[in-house]
Amino acid sequence: MFAIIKTGGKQYKVVEGQVLKVEKLVHDGKKVIFSEVLMLGDDKDITLGTPFITGVAIEGEVLRDAKAKKVTVIKYKAKIRYKRTRGHRQQFTEVKIGKIGK
Q: Looking at the domain assignment, is residue 55 inside a domain?
A: yes
Domain span holding position 52? 2-65+92-101
As to burial, measured by CB atoms within 10 angstroms (0-12 exposed, 13-18 middle, 19+ buried), residue 93 is buried
Return the pLDDT at 28: 87
Q: Is the CB of residue 22 less than 8 Å from the CB of residue 37?
A: no
Q: Is the CB of residue 51 less than 8 Å from the CB of residue 38?
A: yes
Distance CA 7, CA 35 (A): 9
Residues 6+ apart with CB under 8 A from 29: 62
Q: Domains in the chain: how many in total?
A: 1
Mean pLDDT of 88-99: 95
Q: Looking at the domain assignment, is residue 31 inside a domain?
A: yes
Q: Is the CB of residue 59 less than 8 Å from the CB of residue 35?
A: no
Q: Looking at the domain assignment, is residue 76 inside a domain?
A: no
Q: Looking at the domain assignment, is residue 84 inside a domain?
A: no
What digits encode the pLDDT tens for the residues 33-89? Answer: 999 999 999 888 898 988 899 989 999 999 999 999 999 999 999 999 999 999 999
- pTM for this prediction: 0.82
Q: Looking at the domain assignment, is residue 86 inside a domain?
A: no
